[in-house]
């Protein structure tokens, strides 16, 4: 659903522009609001409402008796908030989420199929530089897992 890489900045009021291509995709799927929360690797996850409900149900079906499930669920849901785009396609990112993702001004938004990830530009550059050389190696491993024996 969401694809591509886009560079933007957070304005002084903490608002982030959702790129028009990503907003168009959301509209095609009748998504009017997003849920933003703590992601992995110190980025933020931005889900459409439908996708948020899917992720919520997956987590609800995990055993809360397991310590890891409780810890992850607490951080994932306590960090969450719903946001609507204003007339200029901006969403307000809460300070606690910007702090979690080390976002000060410049950001990179990437479409990752069912979600949009929001990265501090410096962290995205570090991640990309470290991961790009492993791309083909990871592809081999992941594609081999998908093959039936």
Residue 66 scores a pLDDT above 90: yes
SS3 74: helix
H/E stretch holding 119 reads strand 115-120
Q: Which residues 6+ apart lie within 8 Å of 100 measured at CB?
A: 38, 42, 44, 79
Which CATH number is 2-121's, of 2.40.30.10, 1.10.580.10, 3.40.1550.20, 1.10.8.50? 3.40.1550.20
Name the token pair of 69: 């499930």
pLDDT the model gives residue 51:
93
> pLDDT tens digits for 84-116?
999 899 999 999 999 999 999 999 999 999 999
């Amino acid at each position: 659903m969401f694809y591509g890489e886009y560079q933007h900045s957070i304005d002084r009021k903490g608002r982030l522009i959702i790129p028009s291509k990503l907003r168009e995709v959301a509209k095609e799927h009748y998504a009017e609001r997003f849920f933003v929360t703590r992601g992995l690797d110190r980025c933020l996850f931005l889900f459409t409402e439908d996708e948020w409900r899917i992720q919520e149900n997956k987590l609800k079906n995990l055993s809360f008796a397991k310590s890891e499930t409780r810890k992850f669920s607490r951080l994932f849901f306590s960090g969450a908030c719903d946001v609507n785009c204003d007339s200029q396609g901006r969403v307000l990112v809460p300070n606690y989420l910007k702090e979690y993702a080390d976002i000060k001004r410049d950001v990179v938004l990437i479409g990752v199929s069912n979600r949009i990830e929001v990265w501090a530009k410096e962290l995205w550059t570090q991640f990309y530089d470290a991961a790009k050389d492993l791309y083909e190696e990871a592809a081999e491993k992941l594609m081999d897992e998908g093959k039936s024996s």
